[in-house]
């Protein structure tokens, strides 16, 4: 019965859609051409290059899946994947936790709230490369202001990005500093749109602030937190500027994520074939993670 | 008695004289204005040489009437940009500055550049006082392909030297800079007092960047990184291990913590703030250290040639300037190349301490040396170093990958890795890449 209804209901829509398509298809042509040229063509061409031994000079012989097979034995690539995942996890979790906390704080009324909010979102407004250059100066182990601050309160100086063990946590700190405001803004927008009635009822029932957060704010704002997480995840996976400017993947290869490796492979070693293969694999990885998250989000939304 | 024949001859020569005079004038006064109204695009790596060229662009435009679009990009971005644009066959520039110590073999293999020989030979395009023989032999060897094609003209010949802090030396009773590797090691230890944040030495530790430095140390063992035919790596030989061990010792015991992440700029800052007594790097980084706004060591800084090991030498890294084979405005571009590598401009580079040009006549101009902000010691160091310079970094296609792979091993060694083991591993990893590049 329900099927019949659905069919009957959907038919006129379809017919009208067909009519639109027949009469106005020309309007879609410019957009289609743009998509074809700037998205589809580069993709197909990247896949094509990944199947060839493509250098800047000389012939580009077809090598089948040799570039992909090479990846499995390339220790540098495998480590880059591990580092990318660890860097991504850290630069998603930290800003989301801090961002949600900040959003809850900024949702309440207090003096100079507007000013505090403005100050809080400033890091997000700055150009990542400029920020990275400033951080690099602050990280200098002997002359940087950070070690000066540490030692002036009696703490031992840190090597920051100048040691293999501390380079990724330090980069995570920079990313967190810059992108927590974005999460805060999205979640704050969500919290602001929540109805006030549940809170009023909770207050009447004598609920504590934590209970209200745990049982009202968090479930209601969850879709917004998920959106922020997905955006943050995609951004974190493709982080390039911060790492490139501050460490260039170093010391050694200690902070070399896939982005840095593929840039080096394609544009410093001019091995475009292998670089393209890395891009394809990396794209599949991003796609997989994003789909997974979106699926989780959809489930949450329909529960 | 005037004979008819004499009269005819005299008349003929009188009639011909204007043509001869005109030709003579053309030789003495080269026509710089012949491409007036045309425009060219120039692409430089970010360096003091680029700054000097940029500062004098107006002079060139006034001299020639050619309009110049000038672009300067940091070398890490400029190299890939140039490679990609060259690969498309339609570069956006008519003149390009390239690092021959990195791109020489690639430029030759891919035939990127126009041969400059015909342009130099053409009297209508090249001023009589250009004097190609004035360029140093090592620099011309680098600029010239094995088949004799002249791909670029040498713009600069950077030399590795020692910068030393005279005040810190005097505090420890030391008078003169180290002359040997052993002396350097001993002095660096004497000058280190980690509890006060004072270090005897600083040098590049960052992967890739450290390879120029380590290669310079290796040269003291009279050894290159690759065999002369460019086929076999020599980076795990006993000499290479000894050089790496020496490097490891001085970097771990006398250099500031975090030095494995230092490129030249971190080293320079450390030295300019008086935190390190000796810095070993390219002479091209001299100028900012004499600037009181940037440096705390003005008036205290000494310059000395590389210390001797088994042999005495120093690494040199040459960059050049040329014209892409597919450039649209080759002739006006040649006027630019000719002007910027001419005696006047390269002397200006030397006078301002912006580099050490490959033109030998620049160093003979005593009035320039006297009028310079640099002490005579700087010019003496330059002269000594030029005379013992050897090309640093191997002449192979995958130079960047070589620097990254071996450079990572060198960084690991400073972090505490075993020199022999790390070098062996990196050599084994890079040899196949080198083999493949030689097949192509």
Summarize pLDDT for A143-157 with one digit per residue, the tens.
Answer: 889 999 998 999 988
**B149, burial (CB in 10 Å: exposed 0-12, middle 13-18, buried 19+):** middle
Q: Are strands B314-322 and B95-99 parallel, antiparallel or unpaired?
A: antiparallel
Residue A24's pLDDT is: 83
Q: Are strands B276-282 and B199-202 parallel, antiparallel or unpaired?
A: parallel
Residues of chain B contacting A163 with CB distance shorter than 8 Å? 258, 260-261, 415
- Interchain proximity A252–B415, CB inside 8 Å: yes
Are the CB atoms for B299 and B374 separated by under 8 Å? Answer: no
pTM of the model: 0.82
User: B40 and B106, same structural domain?
Assistant: yes
CATH of domain A67-302: 1.10.3720.10
Asked if the model's pLDDT at residue A289 lies above 60, the reply is yes
Residue A4's pLDDT is: 43
Nearest Cα to A264, choosing from A285, A283, A279?
A: A279
Residues of chain B contacting A247 with CB distance shorter than 8 Å? 261
Output the CA–CA distances (angstroms, integers) from residue B149 to A33, B171, B332, in the order listed. Answer: 45, 54, 20
Q: Quickly list DSSP for B144-198.
A: B-TTS-B--EEEEEEEEEEEEEHHHHHHTT--S---BHHHHHHHHHHT-BGGGTB
- Interchain proximity A57–B106, CB inside 8 Å: yes
CA angle B277, B274, B258 (to 5 degrees): 75
Residue B360 falls within a domain, yes or no?
Answer: yes
Of residues B256, B257, B261, nearest to A250 (C-beta): B261
Choose, out of B75, B258, B268, the residue to mutate when testing the contact with A (most A CBs < 10 Å). B258
Three-state SS letters, chain A: CHHHHHHHHHHHHHHHHHHHHHHHHHHHHHHHHHHHHHHHHHHHHHHHHHCECCECCCCCCECCCHHHHHHHHCHHHHHHHHHHHHHHHHHHHHHHHHHHHHHHHHHCCCCCHHHHHHHHHHHHHCCHHHHHHHHHHHHCCCCCHHHHHHHHCCCCCCCHHHCCCCHHHHHHHHHHHHHHHHHHHHHHHHHHCCCCHHHHHHHHCCCCHHHHHHHHHHHHHHHHHHHHHHHHHHHHHCCCHHHHHHCCCCCCCCCCCHHHHHHHHHHHCCEHHHHHHHHHHHHHHHHHHHHHHHHHHHHHHHC
CB contacts < 8 A (A, B): 96
User: B196 and B49, same structural domain?
Assistant: no
- Interchain proximity A159–B257, CB inside 8 Å: yes
CA-based radius of gyration for chain A: 25
Please tell me which residue, B365 or A260, carries the higher pLDDT value: A260
Choose, out of B204, B261, B324, B415, the residue to mutate when testing the contact with A (most A CBs < 10 Å). B261
Residue showing tokens 């390339």: A74
Residue B26 falls within a domain, yes or no?
Answer: no
User: B140 and B44, same structural domain?
Assistant: yes
Of residues B259, B398, B408, nearest to A252 (C-beta): B408
Structural domain boundaries enclosing B378: 34-157+317-390
Residue B424 falls within a domain, yes or no?
Answer: yes
Residues of chain B contacting A268 with CB distance shorter than 8 Å? 76, 79-80, 400-401, 404
CA of B272: which chain A residue's CA is closest? A143
- Interchain proximity B440–A55, CB inside 8 Å: yes
Nearest Cα to A173, choosing from A146, A153, A144?
A: A146
Residue B425's H or E segment, with its range, is helix B419-439
**B270, burial (CB in 10 Å: exposed 0-12, middle 13-18, buried 19+):** buried
Residues of chain B contacting A164 with CB distance shorter than 8 Å? 260, 415
Choose, out of A139, A150, A260, A269, the residue to mutate when testing the contact with B (most B CBs < 10 Å). A269
Of residues B83, B266, B408, nearest to A270 (C-beta): B83
Residue B202's H or E segment, with its range, is strand B199-202
Residues of chain A contacting B408 with CB distance shorter than 8 Å? 252-253
Residue B21's pLDDT is: 45
- Interchain proximity B207–A253, CB inside 8 Å: yes
Q: Is A60 on the interface with B (CB under 8 A)?
A: no
Q: Is A189 on the interface with B (CB under 8 A)?
A: no
Are the CB atoms for B261 and B183 separated by under 8 Å? Answer: no
Residues of B with CB under 8 A from a CB of A: 76, 79-80, 83-84, 86-87, 106, 109-110, 197, 205-208, 256-262, 266, 269-270, 273, 275, 398, 400-401, 404, 408, 411-412, 415, 440
Nearest CA-CA distance, residue A32 and chain B, Å: 27
Nearest CA-CA distance, residue B256 and chain A, Å: 7
Residue B27 falls within a domain, yes or no?
Answer: no
Q: Which of B353, B371, B390 is the last residue of a domain?
A: B390
Residue B18 falls within a domain, yes or no?
Answer: no
Of residues B79, B84, B269, nearest to A140 (C-beta): B269
User: B402 and B377, same structural domain?
Assistant: no
User: B153 and B188, same structural domain?
Assistant: no
User: B131 and B71, same structural domain?
Assistant: yes
Residues of chain B contacting A267 with CB distance shorter than 8 Å? 80, 83-84
Choose, out of A251, A256, A274, the residue to mutate when testing the contact with B (most B CBs < 10 Å). A251
Residue B6 falls within a domain, yes or no?
Answer: no
CA B73, B74, B77, B83 torsion-angle sign:
positive
CA of A267: which chain B residue's CA is closest? B80
User: B146 and B68, same structural domain?
Assistant: yes
- Interchain proximity A268–B404, CB inside 8 Å: yes
Output the CA–CA distances (angstroms, integers) from residue B211 to B161, B207, B243, in the order listed. Answer: 15, 7, 12
User: B272 and B210, same structural domain?
Assistant: yes
Range 135-174 of A in CB contact (< 8 A) with B: 140-143, 157, 159-164, 167
Are the CB atoms for A261 and A278 separated by under 8 Å? Answer: yes
User: B253 and B218, same structural domain?
Assistant: yes
Q: What is the C-alpha to C-alpha distance for residues A129 and A131, in angstroms, rounded to an integer? A: 5
Residues of chain B contacting A253 with CB distance shorter than 8 Å? 207, 408
Of residues B257, B266, B400, nearest to A269 (C-beta): B400
User: B430 and B368, same structural domain?
Assistant: no
- Interchain proximity B398–A269, CB inside 8 Å: yes
Of residues B109, B259, B273, nearest to A57 (C-beta): B109
Domain ranges of chain A: 67-302
Residue B67's H or E segment, with its range, is strand B67-73
Residue A70's pLDDT is: 92
Q: Is A30 on the interface with B (CB under 8 A)?
A: no
Residue B118 falls within a domain, yes or no?
Answer: yes
CA A150, A152, A156, A157 torsion-angle sign:
positive
Residue B403 falls within a domain, yes or no?
Answer: yes
Choose, out of A268, A271, A273, A276, the residue to mutate when testing the contact with B (most B CBs < 10 Å). A268
Nearest Cα to B132, choosing from B368, B342, B388?
A: B342
User: B123 and B180, same structural domain?
Assistant: no
- Interchain proximity A251–B86, CB inside 8 Å: no
Sequence-separated contacts (24+) of A191-200 with Cβ below 8 Å: A191/A103, A191/A104, A191/A107, A191/A217, A191/A221, A191/A224, A192/A107, A194/A220, A194/A221
Of residues A143, A160, A264, nearest to B269 (C-beta): A143
User: B140 and B78, same structural domain?
Assistant: yes
Asked if the model's pLDDT at residue A302 lies above 70, the reply is no
Asked if the model's pLDDT at residue A75 lies above 80, the reply is yes
Residues of chain B contacting A140 with CB distance shorter than 8 Å? 258, 266, 269
Residue A15's pLDDT is: 53
Residue A9's pLDDT is: 46
Q: Where residue B78 sits, what CATH number does that domain have?
A: 3.40.190.10
CA of A266: which chain B residue's CA is closest? B80
Residue A2's pLDDT is: 42
- Interchain proximity B400–A268, CB inside 8 Å: yes
Per the prediction, chain A carries an average pLDDT of 87
Along chain B (440 residues), what's the average pLDDT of each consecutive run of 10 residues? 56 51 54 94 92 94 96 89 89 95 90 95 93 90 94 94 97 95 97 94 94 96 94 96 97 94 91 96 90 90 96 94 94 96 92 88 83 88 90 90 94 94 94 87
Of residues A251, A268, A269, nearest to B261 (C-beta): A251
Residue A1's pLDDT is: 38
The total number of structural domains that make up chain B: 2
Alpha carbons within 13 A on the beta-carbon side of A194: 24
Of residues B106, B260, B273, nearest to A162 (C-beta): B260
Residue A301's pLDDT is: 58
Cα B163 off chain centre by? 18
Q: What is the pLDDT of residues A11-23, one digit of tens each?
A: 445 555 567 777 7
Alpha carbons within 13 A on the beta-carbon side of B19: 5
């Amino acid at each position: 019965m329900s099927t019949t209804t659905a069919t009957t209901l959907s038919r006129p829509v379809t017919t009208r859609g067909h009519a639109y398509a027949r009469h106005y298809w020309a309007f879609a042509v410019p957009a289609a051409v743009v998509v074809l040229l700037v998205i589809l063509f580069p993709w197909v061409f990247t896949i094509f290059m990944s199947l060839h031994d493509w250098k800047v000079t000389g012939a580009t012989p077809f090598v089948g899946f040799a570039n992909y097979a090479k990846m499995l034995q390339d220790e540098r690539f495998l480590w880059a994947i591990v580092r990318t995942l660890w860097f991504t996890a850290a630069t998603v979790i930290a800003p989301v936790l801090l961002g949600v906390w900040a959003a809850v704080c900024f949702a309440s009324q207090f003096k100079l709230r507007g000013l505090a909010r403005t100050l809080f979102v400033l890091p997000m407004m700055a150009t990542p490369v400029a920020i990275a250059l400033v951080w690099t100066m602050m990280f200098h182990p002997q002359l940087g202001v950070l070690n000066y601050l540490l030692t002036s309160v009696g703490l031992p100086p840190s090597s920051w990005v100048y040691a293999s063990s501390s380079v990724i946590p330090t980069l995570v700190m920079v990313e967190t500093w810059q992108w927590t405001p974005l999460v805060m803004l999205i979640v704050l927008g969500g919290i602001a749109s929540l109805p006030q009635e549940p809170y009023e009822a909770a207050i009447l029932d004598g609920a504590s602030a934590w209970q209200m957060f745990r049982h009202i704010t968090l479930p209601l704002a969850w879709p917004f937190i998920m959106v922020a997480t997905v955006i943050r995840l995609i951004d974190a996976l493709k982080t390039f500027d911060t790492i490139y400017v501050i460490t260039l993947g170093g010391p050694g290869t200690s902070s070399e994520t896939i982005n840095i490796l593929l840039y080096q492979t394609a544009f410093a070693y001019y091995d475009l074939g292998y670089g393209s293969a890395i891009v394809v694999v990396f794209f599949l990885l991003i796609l997989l993670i994003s789909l997974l998250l979106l699926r989780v989000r959809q489930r949450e939304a329909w529960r | 008695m005037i004979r008819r024949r004499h009269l005819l001859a005299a008349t003929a020569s009188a009639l011909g004289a204007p043509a001869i005079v005109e030709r003579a004038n053309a030789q003495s006064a080269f026509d710089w204005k012949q491409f007036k109204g045309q425009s060219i695009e120039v692409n430089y790596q970010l360096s003091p040489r680029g700054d000097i060229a940029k500062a004098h662009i107006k002079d060139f435009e006034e001299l020639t009437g050619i309009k110049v679009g000038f672009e300067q990009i940091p070398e890490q971005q400029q190299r890939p940009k140039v490679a990609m644009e060259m690969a498309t066959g339609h570069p956006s520039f008519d003149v390009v500055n390239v690092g021959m110590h990195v791109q020489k073999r690639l430029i030759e293999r891919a035939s990127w550049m126009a041969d400059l020989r015909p342009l130099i030979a053409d009297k209508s395009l090249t001023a009589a006082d250009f004097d190609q023989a004035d360029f140093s032999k090592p620099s011309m060897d680098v600029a010239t392909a094995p088949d004799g094609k002249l791909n670029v003209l040498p713009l600069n010949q950077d030399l590795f030297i020692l910068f030393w802090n005279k005040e810190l030396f005097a505090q420890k009773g030391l008078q003169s800079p180290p002359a040997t590797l052993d002396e350097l090691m001993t002095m660096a230890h004497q000058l280190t007092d980690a509890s006060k944040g004072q270090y005897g030495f600083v040098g590049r530790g960052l992967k890739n960047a450290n390879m120029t430095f380590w290669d310079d140390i290796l040269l003291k063992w009279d050894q290159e990184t690759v065999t002369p035919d460019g086929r076999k790596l020599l980076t795990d030989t006993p000499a290479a291990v000894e050089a790496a061990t020496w490097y490891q010792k001085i970097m771990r015991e006398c250099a500031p913590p975090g030095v494995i992440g230092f490129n030249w700029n971190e080293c320079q800052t450390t030295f300019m703030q008086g935190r390190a007594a000796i810095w070993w790097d390219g002479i091209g980084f001299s100028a900012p250290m004499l600037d009181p706004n940037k440096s705390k060591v003005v008036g205290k800084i000494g310059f000395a040639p590389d210390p001797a090991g088994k042999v005495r030498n120093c690494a040199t890294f040459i960059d050049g300037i040329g014209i892409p084979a597919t450039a649209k405005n080759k002739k006006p571009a040649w006027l630019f190349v000719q002007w910027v590598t001419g005696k006047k401009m390269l002397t200006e580079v030397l006078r301002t301490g912006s580099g050490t040009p490959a033109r030998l006549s620049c160093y003979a101009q005593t009035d320039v040396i006297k009028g310079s902000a640099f002490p005579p010691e700087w010019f003496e160091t330059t002269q000594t170093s030029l005379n013992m310079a050897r090309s640093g970094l191997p002449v192979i296609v995958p130079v960047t990958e070589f620097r990254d792979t071996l450079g990572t091993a060198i960084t690991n060694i400073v972090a505490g890795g075993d020199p022999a083991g790390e070098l062996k591993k990196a050599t084994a990893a890079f040899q196949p890449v080198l083999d493949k590049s030689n097949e192509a």
